[in-house]
A and B are shown apart, each in its own frame.
Chain A
Amino acid sequence: MTEARVAPIIEARSIIKTYGHVQALQGADFTAYPGEVVALIGDNGAGKSTLTKVIAGVIKPDSGELLFEGNPVEMTSPLAAQKLGIETVFQDLALAPDLDGAANVYLGREILKSGLLGRLGVLDKPAMKTEATKVFVDLGVAIKDAGAAVANLSGGQRQGVAVARAAAWARKVIIMDEPTAALGVVQTENVLNVIRRVRDQGVAVVLISHNMPDVLKVADRIEVLRLGRRVATFKGSEATIESLVGAMTGALDGDLVR
């Protein structure tokens, strides 16, 4: 992709957010383009989570501007973000453990039967199971039975359900907060593949991660936050662990790539 010609799908400008005396974001900027994986990295307390929550509509910034496809937007709730095609995989996954995988993928967006039964609110469970299974297979999420309660799945499988749920519905942007934090090597590789597949469908993937090797494997661009501000932007192909760590810690101040 050529960044100069493609307009950003989402852009945050000069976002400020304070909690009491703590300035979590001190005029933070962020940009994501369609069809790219952009990693958002930074040390603990750099403001990554706060910034992504602003983009996901979970918290309201004190000041600053949010642009979606070039137009200013008020992101008042996660639902407002979802309506724009922005989905988030939260760190706590936000799944209903007693419901099965298919039910979780379709939670709040159930498919109803056609005709009179549908108007009575009758669910089309077979259709949801078929489609959810298809999403799991497409994304390489290893869930044998989409009808098994999420509580019965392993940690990696639960992560898979949460990612599949977001990926299935994200039309424009998908935000993933530490999606590989609790996973083993194979499962991590699966999630990274999912990220690539979603990206290849033209969706912008915002990846928050502490894991530098993972970031380097999958990110097209990397934005670095430090002390509530964007301090550097790298091309994925040009970044090294040393340069990223340098930007995160401030050793390479002023070395803006773009």
Chain B
Amino acid sequence: MSTPPIGPPTPASEQAPPTPTQPKAGTAATDVQRSSGAGLRKAVLGSNTLWIFLALIVIIAVFGALKPTAFLGSYDIKTIFINASVALLLSVGMTFVIITAGIDLSVGSILVMSGVIALKVMTAVAGGGSASSGAGWGTIVIGILAGLGVGAGWGVINGVLIARLKIPPLIVTLGTFGMALGASDVLTGGVDIGGVPTKFSAAVGAGTVGPVPTMVLIAGIVTIVLGLVLHLTRFGRYTYAVGSNTEAARRAGINVDRHLIKVYALSGLLSGLGGLLSLAYFTTTTISGHTTDNLTAISAVVIGGTSLFGGVGAMFGTVVGVFIPVVLASGLVIVGLQSFWQQVMIGAILIAAVYFDQLRRRAKSRP
């Protein structure tokens, strides 16, 4: 009974058994040169990302042509990058979240609370009152760790509520958005507090490494590292898989709940880091200044070609999506238009980006 009774003969003798469990080192090595970078290139070109990148280039070219000296001067470029760095951190975390088909509305509030806690801890360790202004690096590092811990902690709470209790991400993070902001108000009495250690604000907020502002350097390194994590590692692969088909990911043996918790924790941690940068830059807690950070980050991610339906997205697109509003804001001021126009234009770009994403999805998905 080893030969099939009916049907075309099976060339069984020619078939090598499929044994993908143990890849042969030789076959893998020959292919590395050919396709290394191909995945990244495809991720960049495969979506709206290319078009939105071209849009950014056009915007820069237009402003550059209108006011070449002012717009492309090094002062303005530096300002653009500094303004973008905190938003970039939030948007990088948001990219992971949205690729899992989730959403995180709590980023701005977590940012505020991380800054508040970091400063409170620094002040307490330094001995209270205004002593914190002159605090040393030991005190500062303790405050930094506290701020990052608060951020990651809120992220874990988001993740557990979403993954384990199956509460929709929109509701969970809307809840923690209010909770973290409210708690910050409770801790400070609703009034911004100062006393940020001078060493901290000088090194991180106003400092530079060579010609590059420290804030920009930190945000840049984090973005590049997490971009590599998203596109090249198993963690990134699982992020796409969970967003693409949660049930398939679960049946493939991926611990979906734990992965979601990690993704929201990452978003919280980056919000915490953003809080620290903001604290160092403004030398105060800026409690009321971050209520729309979540929308800024979501817009940036979506404009960058990441799909709200999950499973699709690229880190490079997010970077472009962060810079478009910042460049527009700077450019409009320079050419003498009201910067309010930036909000109008971003709104239109956002709607257009989602429309094109849906067109692409419809064209792609075959019955």
Could you tell me the distance between the alpha carbons of A152 and B34 in the complex, rounded to whole angstroms? 23
Q: Does B241 sit within 8 A of A, measured CB to CB? A: yes
Could you tell me the distance between the alpha carbons of A134 and B23 in the complex, rounded to whole angstroms? 11
Could you tell me the distance between the alpha carbons of A132 and B20 in the complex, rounded to whole angstroms? 7
Q: Does B247 sit within 8 A of A, measured CB to CB? A: yes
Q: Does A108 sit within 8 A of B, measured CB to CB? A: yes
- Contacting B251 at CB < 8 Å: which of A90, A121, A168? A90
Could you tell me the distance between the alpha carbons of A124 and B32 in the complex, rounded to whole angstroms? 9
- A112 CB contacts on chain B under 8 angstroms: 234
With both chains docked as a complex, state the minimum distance between the C-beta of B125 and any C-beta of chain A, in angstroms: 34
**Docked-complex contact A96 and B364, CB < 8 angstroms:** no
Size category of the binding interface on chain A = 35 or more
- Contacting B7 at CB < 8 Å: which of A96, A106, A151, A189? A189
The chain A residue sitting closest to B17, CB to CB, is: A201
Q: Per-position contact with B for A153-172: 1 when CB-CB < 8 Å, else 0?
A: 11100000000100111000
Could you tell me the distance between the alpha carbons of A105 and B234 in the complex, rounded to whole angstroms? 14
**Docked-complex contact A138 and B15, CB < 8 angstroms:** yes
Q: Does B367 sit within 8 A of A, measured CB to CB? A: yes
**Docked-complex contact B1 and A237, CB < 8 angstroms:** yes
**Docked-complex contact B18 and A138, CB < 8 angstroms:** yes
**Docked-complex contact A108 and B31, CB < 8 angstroms:** no
Q: Does A95 sit within 8 A of B, measured CB to CB? A: yes
- Contacting A135 at CB < 8 Å: which of B6, B18, B25? B18
Q: Per-position contact with B for A138-153: 1 when CB-CB < 8 Å, else 0?
A: 1100000001010111
**Docked-complex contact B31 and A127, CB < 8 angstroms:** yes
The chain B residue sitting closest to A88, CB to CB, is: B251
Q: A124-B28, A126-B32 known; A217 and B4 CB under 8 Å? A: yes
Which of B35-43, B59-67, B139-147, B169-177 interfaces with chain A? B35-43
- Contacting B233 at CB < 8 Å: which of A79, A122, A192? A122
- A129 CB contacts on chain B under 8 angstroms: 31, 35
With both chains docked as a complex, state the minimum distance between the C-beta of A121 and any C-beta of chain B, in angstroms: 4
**Docked-complex contact B241 and A96, CB < 8 angstroms:** yes
**Docked-complex contact A236 and B5, CB < 8 angstroms:** yes
The chain B residue sitting closest to A136, CB to CB, is: B18
Could you tell me the distance between the alpha carbons of A44 and B177 in the complex, rounded to whole angstroms? 51
**Docked-complex contact A217 and B232, CB < 8 angstroms:** no
**Docked-complex contact B39 and A125, CB < 8 angstroms:** yes
**Docked-complex contact B36 and A196, CB < 8 angstroms:** no
Q: Does B312 sit within 8 A of A, measured CB to CB? A: yes
- A164 CB contacts on chain B under 8 angstroms: 18
Q: Does B237 sit within 8 A of A, measured CB to CB? A: yes
- Contacting B31 at CB < 8 Å: which of A114, A126, A139? A126
Q: A108-B254, A151-B364, A236-B1 known; A138 and B17 CB under 8 Å? A: yes
Q: A189-B8, A197-B15 known; A127 and B28 CB under 8 Å? A: yes
Q: Which of B18, B35, B252 has the most CB of A within 10 A?
A: B18
**Docked-complex contact B35 and A134, CB < 8 angstroms:** no
Which 6 A-B residue pairs are closest in the complex by CB-CB distance? A108-B252, A98-B311, A127-B28, A126-B31, A96-B244, A131-B20
* 18 A-B residue pairs with CB within 8 Å: A1-B1, A1-B2, A79-B253, A96-B240, A96-B248, A96-B249, A97-B245, A98-B310, A99-B240, A107-B241, A120-B233, A125-B39, A127-B27, A130-B23, A138-B17, A217-B6, A218-B7, A220-B1
**A residues near B, CB below 8 A?**
1, 35-36, 78-79, 82, 90, 94-99, 103-112, 114, 120-132, 134-135, 138-139, 147, 149, 151-155, 164, 167-169, 189, 192-193, 196-197, 200-201, 216-218, 220, 235-237
**B residues near A, CB below 8 A?**
1-2, 4-8, 10, 12, 15-18, 20-21, 23, 25, 27-28, 31-32, 34-36, 38-39, 42, 229, 232-235, 237, 240-241, 243-245, 247-249, 251-254, 310-312, 364-367
List 18 additional A-B contacts (Cβ < 8 Å) besides A112-B234, A126-B32.
Answer: A96-B249, A98-B312, A108-B254, A110-B237, A122-B234, A124-B23, A125-B35, A127-B23, A131-B27, A134-B18, A139-B18, A147-B35, A192-B4, A193-B7, A197-B15, A217-B6, A235-B1, A236-B5
